[in-house]
Structures are given as C-alpha cells and as structure tokens.
Amino acid sequence: MLINGKPLGHRGFTLVEVMVALAIVAIAVPALLLALFQQLDGTEHLRDRSIASWVATDRLSELRLVVAKQGALPEGELLGETRLAERDWYWWIDQQATEIPGFIRVDVKVSIEAERTQPLHVLTAFVTPGGRR
C-alpha cells in the first residue's frame, strides 16, 4: 500500500526493541533507587548532627551559668541524657587544664548511643572560673 507515493512501513516497535528498552530500564531504576536511598541516609545523618550540636550548645550554656553562679566548675564526671526531637541524646563533658592560668578547656560531646565511644558532635570552649572573662 502507498501513501503519498511512498510505501507504508510497519508501525510500532519490534520485540527486540522492546526488550532492549526494558533492559535499560531494569539497569537504570535500581541505580536511581540506590542513589535516592544514599541521599536520604545522608540527610538523616546531617539532621542528627544538627540536633547534636543544639544539645551540646545547651549543655555548654548551662555549664557557663553554673560556673557564673558558683564561681567554679562542678567537680566529678559530668554526663547525662537529654530528650530532644523525640530521641534520647547522651552527653558528657571533659575538662582539661590549659597552659594559661584560669582557663579550662571544656569539650562537650554528644552521642545517640549510651556508650561514650564515638561522639556525633564535639563542642570545644574555654571557661574561666571565678568570674573572669
């Protein structure tokens, strides 16, 4: 049959063309899903780190208020648990003397695990007990 003086070709796709298209889709979709899941995991990790930084900042502010009121850093091990964003956050504070008299280095560490092995966030500050700034 002729249309406009040209032979009418077959319309549609052959089985081979359809199989090649399906093979391409079968390879591309899992790769896209993997990339999507990695992006979601990265976003969750950044969310956790942001909240951990808030917890550390809160603990440091509280410590500075205690130092301002008492004139000295609290004795003993400083650690605790805070509930924020529907999750428990575990924090501990390490103190170190510095070479400068009157300054103490304070590291506020926050983790989502009760074991104090790997903090999610560490906030370092220097405190001057006795009211000096």
CATH H-level superfamily of 11-127: GSPII I/J protein-like (3.30.1300.30)
pLDDT digits (tens, 9 = 90+) for 59-113: 999 999 999 999 999 988 899 999 999 999 999 999 999 999 989 999 999 999 9
Q: Which residues pair with 123 in a beta bridge?
A: 108
Is the pLDDT reported for residue 57 higher than 90? Answer: yes
Distances, alpha carbon 9 to alpha carbons 16, 18, 23, 117, in Å: 17, 18, 26, 71
Note the pLDDT of residue 4. 65
Alpha helices (H) in 1-133, listed in sequence order: 15-70
What share of the chain in percent tops pLDDT 70? 90
Q: Please state, in angstroms and rounded to a whole number, the distance separating the CA atoms of residues 130 and 72.
A: 6
Q: What is the pTM of this model?
A: 0.72
